[in-house]
Structure 1
Amino acid sequence: MISKTHQQMLRGALGGALLWSCGAHATSYMNLYGVFDTGIEYVSHASTSGGLFRVPSLTGEVPSRWGMRGVEDLGGNLSAVFTLESGFNPNNGTLGQGGRLFGRQAFVGLQSDYGLVSFGRQYNMTTWALADANVLGPNIYSISSLDPYLAVARSDNTVAYKGTFRGLTVGATYSFGRDAGGTGNTPGQGTCFGSIPGHTSTCSQWTAMLKYDAAHFGLAFAYDVQHGGPGAAVSYFDGTPSTPLTGEMDKDVHTTVNGYATWGALKIGGGWIGRYVTTEGGAPEGRYDMFFANASYTFTPAFQVDGQLVRIVNTHQNTRATLAVLRGTYSLSKRTAVYLQSGYLINSAHASYTVSVGGGGTTPPQGATQLGVMAGMKTSF
């Protein structure tokens, strides 16, 4: 179901249907996979003029994408792996991630009993740490509405390691230039190309994760540090831009602590996400604390309901918001589902968070409440 398939999608394996042999070994293969998710959305108080209807571009239940994933058995429990994944906007057919051909993932690596070492554009540990506790995933109404970076955190020029040992997963990434494409379309990252002579930390990023999964519960911790540089993104804390991270020692830091548990058809999860931005001199430019709790219940093999409650408190900008989300999904087959969902956002007097992920012309006036409703359909291959 959805809460389970979200993690499968992050691994680039959802709905793989086309399989070619890439060698003599039975474990060598290549998959072509993808998901198409779109619908119609209504957002109230999208501006001072009122609400609007639209076909959203970024996501519905999940972002639309297609990709290729391959494994070659090298012998001795060692395999070469690769993933190329392209995001696209279903409302107009354009490429996502600022027009990149493989803007979601593009990496190659070696997989062994000791874990995976990979190189390229890939998800960092903030994404993996949230994969199980956040049952809504990168939904159009979710924790990502209040911080778009959390939708699917990734970076360019990245060396990554992730391995699982008796339920304990350890992982780390280091990026030499977190947005070398210079598109400015990766949430929270901007056009930050990479290190320059004499300034090796410019535009770098590192993340680390510890995660433990048992039969019916799991816990995760992640730490994520982005360094600034020329052209780096503007930080968003209350729906409006604040300080650009232009200095090498400027930092944008996310800390994630969460957990989940399952009882039969019920799954619950929740956690805390803390974020702060500091300039080169060490002065704080922004800080928030976000708390979320959610649950998912599978009533029948075809019908599932998910809900989430999120609270964000930013004392530095004196802004706060509360978001409630309810989503129902009915599977027409193993590959195709329809859904109806709604999010209701309450902003404090000086806040202008938006209920819909990424904003995109739906930012409300300060202090306004906002309702989002979306009816959609997704199919995978």
Structure 2
Amino acid sequence: MKKNHYAALALTAGVAIQAHAQSSVTLYGIIDVALSYQTHTNPAGASTWALQQGNEGFLSGSRFGLTGKEELGNGWYTGFTLENGFLANSGKADQQGQLFGRQALVKLGQQRFGELAFGRQYTTANTMLYYVDPLGVGAAPTNSWQVFLTGQRYNNAAVYTGSYGPLQAIVQYAAGGVAGDTRARSSISTGLKYAQHDFVAIADVQQTNDSRSRYARLYLAGLRAPAGPVTLYANYMHSDREAGFDSSNGGTDTASITSMTSGSPTAAAAINRVFDSHRRDDFFTVGASWRVTPPWQLILGGMYDHTTAQSFSGSRTTAYGVADYSLSKRTDVYVAAAYDRVTGGWAGLFGNSTSNAAAASGAALNGRNEQVSALMGLRHRF
């Protein structure tokens, strides 16, 4: 009996060691901090020196996360991701102070058939945009204001991801969690990516409903293509929002489209505000990156959005440039500059002290029409 008992213990220990050997957990993260100078940060036209712009570095949002994977055999696996966003200039948690505000998910997959993931996850539009944006979707308000149209993350999301040769498909559904109404606050979307060598083409269709079942629809297409030592980027988004659609996290109508608050008077979040009439946005991005030498990279980008609604027409244009130098595989330093301009109904957006919804309701914003930003940053990955 004792021999059998010892043999059982040894077998159990062996299985445990084997299971442990097939599992892995990784700690990772990014810290991006930049000294920032920005003009027209109040209605009087004053400038601001600060660490960070809108609490973010210019290239990346600071974060740390844990990701794990366990091989189950026969191509099956399970895993998780827990990712926290934080503000490096103050140490506070980002994403409204949530512990794992960037991502919190568990997944089950099979190498041939794809994977299912459940939890707080990126929108398919944000994921697809990453592949065709010159900065992979930036972080500072100056270079990332397109995410106020796409949204960044869904709560209560179920996502299927499958790869079929050069084609990848992502299908996502986010439950609204509203009693007696399966449509309110729900979202559904599909993204497709085709990648062959260094060429990438994407497409995405997304619909989100707010707490009163008003919709926001988004259509996205883009590409990334090599041209000798230069990589070219282009994408186009068309957004349609039903009258009164409200995607703000802090308003009376809370939708799962976005993880942001409605923003401060100096934030670009005004682009996302509520309109009493049907709203349309047409958004274009073009850019290029050039790896001059192994450590040196230059990036240029331009963004343009035109907003139309009943008795409203306005546009915003942004141009930016980055010179980035890699000190090592994990650490780089950079200088960046950006120029922003608004016209029409968005006039007075920068540094205004009125309500961010003022332009939507026809009241003039009292800020400035132009803004210049300059930054010098240090970024480290681990």
TM tier, smaller:
0.7 to 0.9
* Counterpart among 308, 313, 326 of residue 306 in structure 2: 313
* Counterpart among 231, 237, 253 of residue 273 in structure 1: 237
Question: 8 Å contact 1:329–1:339 — kept in the other structure?
Answer: yes
Instruction: Spell out the pairing of 1:364-375 with structure 2 (5 A cutoff).
Output: 365=366, 368-375=369-376
Cα deviation, residue 111, structure 1: 1.9
Question: 8 Å contact 2:57–2:377 — kept in the other structure?
Answer: no
Question: 8 Å contact 1:297–1:305 — kept in the other structure?
Answer: yes
SS in 2 for 1:315: strand
Change (3 A) 1:308 1:225: same
SS in 2 for 1:276: strand
Cα deviation, residue 216, structure 1: 3.1
SS in 1 for 2:125: helix
SS in 2 for 1:318: strand
- Give deviations 1:290-324, integer Å, cap 9, x for gaps: 11101111011111011111111112221012111
SS in 1 for 2:41: strand
- Residue 80 of structure 1 corresponds to 78
- Residue 105 of structure 1 corresponds to 103
Change (3 A) 1:254 1:91: same
- Residue 343 of structure 1 corresponds to 338
- Residue 187 of structure 2 corresponds to 205
Which whole-Å CA distance do the structure 1 matches of 2:186 and 2:318 have between them? 32
Which whole-Å CA distance do the structure 2 matches of 1:262 and 1:318 have between them? 36
SS in 2 for 1:324: strand
- Residue 171 of structure 1 corresponds to 170
Question: 8 Å contact 2:216–2:242 — kept in the other structure?
Answer: yes
SS in 1 for 2:328: coil
| Alignment partner of 1:301 is 2:294 | yes
Cα deviation, residue 209, structure 1: 0.8
SS in 1 for 2:306: strand
Which whole-Å CA distance do the structure 1 matches of 2:97 and 2:141 have between them? 24
- Residue 380 of structure 1 corresponds to 381
| Runs of 4+ in structure 1 over 3 Å off | 21-27, 146-150, 352-355, 363-367
- Residue 63 of structure 1 corresponds to 61
Question: 8 Å contact 1:22–1:28 — kept in the other structure?
Answer: no
Which whole-Å CA distance do the structure 1 matches of 2:350 and 2:215 have between them? 25
Q: What residue identity is the alignment partner of 1:372? A: S
Question: 8 Å contact 2:42–2:367 — kept in the other structure?
Answer: no
Aligned-pair RMSD on alpha carbons? 2.5
Change (3 A) 1:143 1:93: closer
Equivalenced residues, count: 318
- Residue 123 of structure 2 corresponds to 124
| Alignment partner of 1:253 is 2:217 | yes
- Residue 332 of structure 1 corresponds to 327
Higher helix share: 2
Instruction: Spell out the pairing of 1:22-37 with structure 2 (5 A cutoff).
Output: 23-24=18-19, 28-37=23-32
* Counterpart among 204, 210, 215 of residue 222 in structure 1: 204
Which whole-Å CA distance do the structure 2 matches of 1:40 and 1:23 have between them? 49
Change (3 A) 1:292 1:280: closer
TM-score by length of 2: 0.78
Which whole-Å CA distance do the structure 2 matches of 1:216 and 1:67 have between them? 28
Q: What residue identity is the alignment partner of 1:266? A: V
Q: What residue identity is the alignment partner of 2:144? A: S
Cα deviation, residue 365, structure 1: 4.3
Question: 8 Å contact 2:207–2:215 — kept in the other structure?
Answer: yes
Question: 8 Å contact 1:96–1:103 — kept in the other structure?
Answer: yes
- Residue 237 of structure 1 corresponds to none
In structure 1, stretches of 5+ residues that fail to align are 1-20, 178-193, 230-246
- Give deviations 1:97-135, integer Å, cap 9, x for gaps: 111111100000112121110000011211221122102
Q: What residue identity is the alignment partner of 1:51? A: S
Which whole-Å CA distance do the structure 1 matches of 2:143 and 2:217 have between them? 17
Which whole-Å CA distance do the structure 2 matches of 1:95 and 1:263 have between them? 40
Q: Percent identity over the alignment?
A: 27
Cα deviation, residue 154, structure 1: 1.1
- Give deviations 1:34-76, integer Å, cap 9, x for gaps: 1111111111111212221112213421000000000000000
Q: What residue identity is the alignment partner of 2:377? A: G
Worse-matched range after superposition: 44-53 or 88-97: 44-53
Change (3 A) 1:286 1:59: farther
